Homo-oligomer: A and B are copies of this chain.
Amino acid sequence: MREKLEKYFSYVFEKELIDEIVQVGIYKKLRENEVLVDLGDKMKGIPLLLEGAIKIVREDKNGDEILLYFLERGDTCASSFASAVSNTKCGIRAIAEKESEIIFLPKEKLDDWMVKYKSWRNFVIESYNIRLNEMMETVDSLAFMRMDERLYKYLTDKAQIMRETSLNTTHQEIAYDMHTSRVVISRLLKQLENESKIKLYRNKIEILEF
């Protein structure tokens, strides 16, 4: 745990803070598709993502979903922070897109560290900023882009987060993430294939152009 923590966070956190994190943090391995945070959860702390990829989705009353953004190593879940500190419910669901490793930080420490460590304050503010910007990008996609553009952005974004050039997924799963229908996705994927931007296989999409 200390090893990976230092690998991704030694340039972010002071040595003393890393020591504290090692002491109180709870290491956890997430298997693919494991739900880390669910709608309405009250968080007892926040996760630091050491390895892997986590998708954050929003759900409406009808159970319809839409992807908000992905987290990758070095990230934390700003929504959890909110929930943990203010003791309010979390409005999102967090699901591991692949096997991931996290350190769970108990909420009791979060405010102490704000006083003690400048690096922690920066990290928290920076995390919020990144997330706000991600949300703006999500709004941009929804407001300004057509479905084909959104789809291409989805594919390239996800490939980057997953650190792979092909994605193991079905058309239906993409449709869920983008809150549209499988038929629409299948047609647009075929179109992207014709433009030589991707190549389609069963349960797999190879991205040719980034």
Query: Measuring CB to CB, which residues of chain A are less than 8 angstroms from any residue of chain B?
Result: 58, 60, 62, 64, 66, 68, 78-79, 81-82, 85-86, 88, 91-92, 111, 114-115, 118, 121-122, 124-126, 128-129, 131-133, 135-136, 138-140, 142-144, 179
Contact = CB atoms under 8 A, between A and B. Distances in A.
| Complex copy number for this chain | 2
Contact of A82 (B66, B115, B132, B143): B132
Contacts of A135: 132, 135-136, 139
A144 to B, nearest CB: 5
Interface of A is mostly: helix
Contacts of A139: 58, 66, 68, 135, 138-139, 142
Contact of A66 (B125, B126, B131, B143): B143
Contacts of A125: 81-82, 85-86, 124
A91 B143 contact: no
A129 B86 contact: yes
Contacts of A122: 85
Contacts of A126: 86
B58 A132 contact: no
7 contacts: A58-B143, A64-B143, A82-B125, A86-B129, A111-B121, A131-B132, A142-B142
A60 B111 CA distance: 37
B142 A78 contact: no
Contact of A179 (B60, B81, B133, B144): B144
